Amino acid sequence: MTTESALKPDINSTAWKECLELAQKFFLNPDSIVNPIGTCLWFVTNSLYKNKIKKSGSTESYTFNGRDYVKVTEKKVIGGHTFFKVQGY
């Protein structure tokens, strides 16, 4: 979150207005919005995810910065991004 666009977003853009509208709807009635990423805590591009996982049968493990692999407990792929949660969180 250090880029110019993250620090100074275009609050007149359609994307900003859609995000604000969704956040307001959720705040007013949290049960009315379906969260497409479940309880996932991290996201990366699909290609980066593919480069940082190892598979053992149906189990996937992810490595953060080349450290030990941690079992992926939840994963959702939406467009070009993979959202995921690892064991212990």
Tokens 């620090």 correspond to 7
Read off the pTM. 0.69
- Tell me the pLDDT tens digit for each residue of 33-87: 788 899 999 999 999 999 999 999 999 999 998 889 999 999 999 999 999 999 9
- Is the residue at 4 inside a domain? no
Tally of domains in the chain:
1
User: For residue 38, is it within any domain?
Assistant: yes
5 inside domain: no
Give 21-32 as a DSSP string: HHHHHHHH-GGG
| pLDDT tens by residue, 7-27 | 888 999 999 999 898 888 878
Residue 20 located in a structural domain: yes
Range of the domain at 28: 10-86
Write the Ramachandran bin of 65: left for phi over 0, alpha for psi from -120 to 50, otherwise beta.
left
